[in-house]
Structures are given as C-alpha cells and as structure tokens.
Amino acid sequence: MMKLLDVEKLSISFTQYLKGLQQTELHVISDLTMTLNDHEILAVLGSSGSGKSLLAESILGILPNNANTSGKILYKDELLTQQLKEEIRGDKISLIPQSVNYLNPLMKIKQQALGYIEDEEAYKQKEKKQQELFRRYGLKPEVDEMYPFQLSGGMARKVLLSTALLNDPEIIIADEPTPGLDEKAVDEVIHDLIDLKNQGVGIILITHDIITALRCSDKIAILYLGYVIEITDTKNFTDDGSELYHPYTRALYQALPNTDFKLTEGHQPSYNEIPKGCPYNMNCPYKTDKCVENLPELREINGRRVRCFYPLVNDDENIQEGG
Ligand SMILES: Nc1ncnc2c1ncn2[C@@H]1O[C@H](COP(=O)(O)OP(=O)(O)OP(=O)(O)O)[C@@H](O)[C@H]1O
Ligand code: NI
C-alpha cells in the first residue's frame, strides 16, 4: 500500500460582499483531512452544494480565483504546489468531470481527447492508446470524427472516461459520475472504477449517493456542513450501523431504506448558519454544552477518524471522551 495523496486541514471559503461595506466569509470546506492510497476507492459523500467539486478543483489546481484556501495537500509525501499541480494534472492525476459539458462542443472527439502534441512519435503513441481505450469502452472508430452533440449521454461519459485514462493516471478524481444515468450505465461506471482500482489506481469518488458509495468504495469520508465528520471503512456500514461512530453517520445509515438514498438539501442547515461548536450539534440527540461551545477535532479511534466528543463506540471497546 502506498500513500498517493494527503489532504491536511484544507479549508476553502469565499468572501461575500453584503450591502455597503459589510462582508462575510462563506465557509464551504473546513479543516478537511483525508488520505488516499493506491488500490483504493475513497468515496467523499456530501449533499449537493457541499463543496465536493471545489475539493476536486483544489487538488487539480483549478479553483476559481476568488476562493480563499488554507491547509496543504501532499502528493506522495511531496507538497503539492500550484506548479506541481499543473505538471501532473491530466497526467498523474486525472479528472472524470461531473458534466459532459466539459467536452468542447466545437471540437471533434479524437482531437480533444488527444490534445495538442507537437512530437510526431509521441502523437502516434497516444493515438494508439486512445484507439485501444475507445475500443475497450465500446466506442466505434467513427466516434473519432464526431462532435459532442452527436454522442449519446452514455457515449459522452465513455469519452470522458477514456480521456481520463489516456496517460495512465495514478490518481483519478471522479466527480459525481453516476447521476442521470440509467441503472445499466451506473453498473458499468461502478464496474469500470473497480477495474481501475484493481489495476492500482487510487480513486476519489465524489458523490451524494450513499448507495453508489457503498457499492464500490473501500473507505467513505462523510461531509457535514463542510466538515469531515467521519472517515470509516465501507465494511463498517453493516447490520444495524453499530460500527459507525458518529451520530450523523449512524442516523444516515439507519434511515436508509426510508430515504430516497440521497443526502438531500434539508438534511443540513445552510452554510450561512454553521453553528459554533460541533457542526452537527443542532440535530444531535447526544449533545452536551461542550458540543455547543467547542469544535471537536477529527481524531483516530479504532481505525476510523471521527469528529465527535462522544463517539458511539460499542461498550466492549472503551474510549475516553475526546478533548
Ligand atoms: N466562484 C465561486 N464564488 C462564490 N461561491 C462559490 C464559487 N464556486 C462555488 N461556490 C460556492 O461553493 C458551494 C459548493 O460548490 P460545489 O460545486 O463544490 O458543490 P458540490 O458539492 O460539488 O455540489 P453538487 O453536488 O451540486 O455538484 C456552492 O454552493 C457555492 O455556493
Ligand atoms: Ni459538484
């Protein structure tokens, strides 16, 4: 097992200008810490608008200009600077984008998959790889000369997937690859991701769909109001949920058959109302004054990372109250 990415205390916010000279800070991601290894699918689970795409953009170095960030990201123990991000983007790290709108509508498919390559030999090699990948994903040769509008949604997704794989990436960030797809296409995406993982790729699967996360990930990081509140092995989502330590994670899992399997808006308060103290305290049945006053750190407990003063650890595994 090799560490590919370490995200350490990453925060992303936007300054909002209100009437007059007033301004407030919109905290979209706060104090996010997580690790991605090779041969691993890490699902990042959060509701719509919770900053998941911004996390992807931050790792890739394509954040909007007005974003304020702090914290750091390491790539194989090396600080991932903006320069290094630009070097490895599309090469060692690839994005499977959230939307097929990432395709340039005015450019033929093959041309945009390959990009501009000056060296003739290098071009030929990449072209060969592209043709292999297109064949592997069932894209016929005539797709090469098509424009995006001529593709079905499923074909466009396969083009994005093949393009992401062209340079044998070590890390793939898949941003919501399944919404809007029919059941068969979802099965295919999941199958492809697991296949890539088995080849050694480390994958960050960004999703608001807990069922997709449960079906293919090895670990799940759960976001709440921009905070990671638990990172746990996917196998801990089992039976009655008693292996899940954060009250929110457990409630989410136990509610599953009755919800529409999605983390919808309304589950969480809005970003303008992030409470002082624990982000979950307003909904937590176990809260104390301490939770209202203080923000719990993300700490390691029995191989999980949990942001809670009173994690729901089984009786036989005694844990001290966190500080
Ligand atoms: N350039 C920007 N300026 C100001 N605020 C922004 C900007 N970009 C994003 N945001 C804010 O950050 C929030 C998170 O955006 P993001 O696209 O990362 O969410 P997401 O979790 O990917 O949502 P979805 O599930 O809908 O894809 C947005 O709701 C928006 O309020
Ligand atoms: Ni998004």
Instruction: Give ipTM to 2 decimals.
Output: 0.97
What pLDDT does 37 receive?
98
**Band (7; pLDDT cuts 50, 70, 90):** very high
Domains of the chain: 3-92+169-227 (3.40.50.300)
Q: How far is the CA of 50 from the centre of ligand 1 (A)?
A: 7
pLDDT tens digits along 192-204? 899 999 999 999 9
The response to whether residue 296 sits with its C-beta less than 6 Å from ligand 1 reads no
pLDDT tens-digit readout, 155-199: 898 899 889 989 889 999 999 887 777 788 788 889 989 999 999
Best substitution site from 54, 178, 264 to test ligand 1's pocket, by max atoms within 8 Å of Cβ? 54
How many angstroms separate the alpha carbon of residue 294 from the centre of ligand 2?
Answer: 30
Q: Find out whether the beta carbon of 66 lies less than 6 Å from any atom of ligand 1.
A: yes
Confidence of residue 261 (pLDDT cuts 50, 70, 90): very low
Q: How is residue 149 written in tokens?
A: 């509008």
Which ligand 1 atom minimizes the distance to the CA of 50?
Answer: 21
Rounded Cα gap, residues 213 and 44, in angstroms: 8
Substitution candidate for ligand 1 out of 10, 17, 18, 52 with most atoms within 8 A of CB: 52
For tokens 């292996």, name the residue.
243
Confidence band of 99 (pLDDT split at 50, 70, 90): confident
Asked if residues 245 and 305 have their Cβ atoms less than 8 Å apart, the reply is no
Cα dist from 76 to 13, 90, 103, 170, 217, whole Å: 26, 17, 30, 11, 21
- Does 257 have pLDDT greater than 70? no
* Per-residue pLDDT tens digits for 122-152: 999 999 999 999 998 889 999 999 999 999 8
CA distances from 57 to 106, 176, 195 (A): 24, 13, 24
- This prediction has a pTM of 0.89
pLDDT in tens, 35-93: 999 999 999 998 887 788 999 999 999 999 999 999 999 999 999 999 999 999 988 99
29/163 Cα distance (integer angstroms): 29
Residues across the chain = 323
What is the 99 CA–ligand 2 centroid distance (Å)?
9
- pLDDT of amino acid 319: 55
